[in-house]
Structure formats: C-alpha cells, structure tokens
Amino acid sequence: MKIKPGQLVKIDPKKSISPENLTLSPTSNDGIILYEKIDLESFPSYKDFIGYSKVFNNETLLVISSKGRPFSFNKEKHWDVYDVYRLLYENKMYECFSHCLKKH
C-alpha cells in the first residue's frame, strides 16, 4: 500500500507480524506499540525499536514522511510492506511499517 504525506492512517493491530513472520511492531494486550525510531540498518535484529513508545489501538495518526526500507531488503515492489513511515500523534513522532497501517 502506497501512503503519502498528509494522509490519515490507523494502526491495524492484527498486522504486527509480516507475511515472512517477522515482528514489525511489539504488541501489548491493548494494541500495537509504536516507537520513536526503527533502526533500518539493523532490522531484523534484536534491538530495532528505539526511543519513547506508546500503545496504539484505534487512534488516527498523520503521515509526515516516508523514512525508507530496511537495508537488508531490496527495492522490489513486493517488499513494500517493510516501508517505514514517520507518523505524528499528539505532537510526537513515531515510526511504523506500512504493513501495520490502514488508510483512514
């Protein structure tokens, strides 16, 4: 799914795991945990999610920009579920994989 800056999105709590069975976002009982940053150089690894965090369930977020794709994935279209976007919520920035998002 292609997402553009300025669009409103929601988090899809059922999509925290990729089709290849990689954790795209940690979860809690209440939803998906988004972090300030996702390390594109090391993903997938043990410590990919960095900074402050918040649990999201049904909130609406604003897409600010595209950050890119982890370096370990090539640029072919079928890997676009791993594209990372910067999102704004309550004056804080969070990063999230496109697979976890749905258009509002």
Q: What are 5-33's pLDDT values in tens digits?
A: 999 999 998 899 988 898 899 998 889 99
Please tell me the pTM assigned to this model: 0.90
Signed CA dihedral, 12, 15, 16, 18: sign only: negative
Other Cβ atoms less than 10 A from the Cβ of 13: the count is: 17
Signed CA dihedral, 45, 46, 51, 55: sign only: positive
44-53, 55-64, 76-85: least confident range: 76-85
Angle at 34 between CA 85 and CA 71, to 5 degrees: 45
Contact 84, 40 (CB under 8 A): yes
